[in-house]
Structure 1
């Protein structure tokens, strides 16, 4: 059974680099999208204060205080007042991306290529046929309706995008919502990087629904997470929001999955979702890193995420040379299929500005 799944990109990377010993003691791991800034103190304090609630089973549907904080975030950020049945807390978003297709059982799933590997694994586990939607320089790393075959019944979109850092406009998202209604297709929008922006706020597919008059969010679901926003991936706090009819049945499915978040984590997450100032601090740090990257590598600063999708001659050879110098990057082809991602490496700017300068200077020399 396990042979159906591709090796995870990090496993492929370990195999590629296993015989290379870096020439330097100092190592820069720029492969994983894990924030390296400390989780804000007020979130840590809440977790400690509520550890006494470890003696209680958490509800699958989540505590009211957490759901209210998440709906509050959606209201502040997008001006949309979700009904209680239109949002479910989740244990991060990776579990949703994997088990939602198991619940849905789509016949054919489409998603971007390159992609976050869970999209593919979930489709395989659900027995769904796959349609890869290439992200290329020619389409500005944004998926188009023209890429579809027309027989897909489930589509995953990802904006702001991992790994390419592209951002779809509100009008572009509206086209997908209209398509979902016209063809009765379910679309899941992965928006986990929505809060790491540097100028204009990225649009949500929830906003696109409102703009085209789909006020019940029919056939549309979005996911988001606190991991990047609050530098708190260990809290495992995400949500899925949108079509209340689908979520009602999905909640029942989730009671069997057994992925309820422990109460101390829920209460700490509620604090984090309710506060926005700490997020601005992180955005400023990431922007500093991109300004360094612009100065060092001559790249354009993306609208969002903390990734550089850097064009190179040969992503495999570049990755090996970089690790010899102590810098670990992700070859683009490990994140794609059918040649997607070749000639690019993904670099995660998740460290302090000083370490970022040091790492990017090494990359510049290799270019």
Structure 2
């Protein structure tokens, strides 16, 4: 009962859409493991979260210090000309974008890490209705929790698209019906995928871009893991769009999201960008002006320095290759192990992900994330992630090898 006005009943002034969301995956994990004290007399190995443990490049601290006088200035939402030049030049180098077609001044915006940016994308995309019905937000299943959170709070119906071994760990675009596509407002796509590591090829991305334009929805492509790959650089969505026919706007309906958290081991810098369709970027800037502070000047300067340097990224990839070598040697094909095209996760079929997570924490002080916390059930079907655990290979290769050997010993 409302103590101030009993006539109002039990309703409280909350956004009840939030009640449609489960607890965040790491909150659920903390609940699952609460009360369990690891029996192993070892330092815990945290493999549940994708937080790189490599030393951040020295240029971060150097650049922050060199620009310390700018901490007292309010930063511009659109970033600085130097930052935009650095990001635009990196996109052109990495994805071969035509220099006369991509304008960083109108097609790039800084964001405080891609979690914020991907969440806001739903607020940007979702109208009150689409095709006279509740708008749909498509996303792979498994998915990054922010896709669902942003979609639900924007008023969309999240639609979870199976991304299993049978579909190549990416949503089956041919399974999308016209009825669903007509009411789709946003399609979240992650490539390389989190957690399965599958990378979409050019044909797949061209098909997704074509659907976005045919049915007029935003294709929001999360490319956060694009720079952590084993052999071949993953194709980018803007790279594919540059090869497609267009009516004056080669980036129409596309937003791509990149971050320095994984590429540069700089999760605490909270720096990334959204790029793509200039009309959408302009609206995104307006939305962000109302909702978020700009990225501080010293952070923009450090980010620009990182986007201009590839040497530390090359070293990063070599370190991750060594980690996968260590994991592969220890696991020896157990639990459906495969070597992913990109990213730094293992997606292991252990039969019961929650039970495995409890056992690994209790018996080995190893913290992993149950796959069910990254997936949703279809009506009348079991949760497709329930048999899996996600294991983040963020520690050094020696510790990865030890941890994976312990996983096989504990789980059998």
| TM-score, normalising length: structure 1 | 0.97
The DSSP-based 3-state class of the residue aligned with 2:189 is: strand
Report the counterpart of residue 11 of structure 2 in structure 1: none
Are 1:217 and 2:251 matched, yes or no? yes
Q: Trace 1:6-25 onto structure 2 (pairs within 5 A).
A: 6-24=22-40, 25=42
Distance 1:340 1:168 in 2: 21
- State the shift of 1:252 in Å: 1.6
Aligned residue among 245, 262, 270 for 1:236 = 270
The DSSP-based 3-state class of the residue aligned with 1:228 is: helix
Q: Trace 1:45-84 onto structure 2 (pairs within 5 A).
A: 45-80=62-97, 81=99, 82-83=102-103, 84=105
Q: Which moved more, 1:252-261 or 1:69-78?
A: 252-261
Aligned residue among 254, 257, 262 for 2:296 = 262
Distance 2:146 2:346 in 1: 21
Tell me the matched-pair count. 367
Report the counterpart of residue 346 of structure 1 in structure 2: 390
Report the counterpart of residue 94 of structure 1 in structure 2: 115
Q: Trace 1:181-196 onto structure 2 (pairs within 5 A).
A: 181-196=213-228
Alpha carbons 1:140, 1:166 under 8 Å: kept:
yes
Are 1:37 and 2:71 matched, yes or no? no
The DSSP-based 3-state class of the residue aligned with 1:347 is: strand
Distance 1:319 1:293 in 2: 18
Segments of 4+ moved more than 6 angstroms: none
Alpha carbons 1:319, 1:331 under 8 Å: kept:
yes
Per-residue displacement from partner, 1:17-71 (whole Å, max 9, x unpaired)? 1121111232110000110111111222111221221111100111111111111
Distance 2:148 2:63 in 1: 36
Alpha carbons 2:143, 2:374 under 8 Å: kept:
yes
The DSSP-based 3-state class of the residue aligned with 2:318 is: helix
Alpha carbons 2:108, 2:273 under 8 Å: kept:
yes
Q: CA RMSD in A?
A: 1.3
- State the shift of 1:4 in Å: 2.9
- State the shift of 1:213 in Å: 2.5
Report the counterpart of residue 165 of structure 2 in structure 1: 137
Alpha carbons 1:178, 1:212 under 8 Å: kept:
no
Per-residue displacement from partner, 1:285-306 (whole Å, max 9, x unpaired)? 1110001111111233211101
Q: Trace 1:319-338 onto structure 2 (pairs within 5 A).
A: 319-324=357-362, 325-338=364-377
The DSSP-based 3-state class of the residue aligned with 2:395 is: coil
Per-residue displacement from partner, 1:166-198 (whole Å, max 9, x unpaired)? 111111111111111222222110000000011
Distance 1:204 1:213 in 2: 17
Aligned residue among 318, 337, 340 for 1:302 = 340
Which ranges in structure 2 are unaligned for 5 or more consecutive residues? Answer: 1-14, 128-134, 378-382
- State the shift of 1:137 in Å: 1.8
Q: Trace 1:106-145 onto structure 2 (pairs within 5 A).
A: 106=127, 107-145=135-173
Alpha carbons 2:110, 2:273 under 8 Å: kept:
yes
Distance 2:197 2:293 in 1: 30
Distance 2:151 2:214 in 1: 23
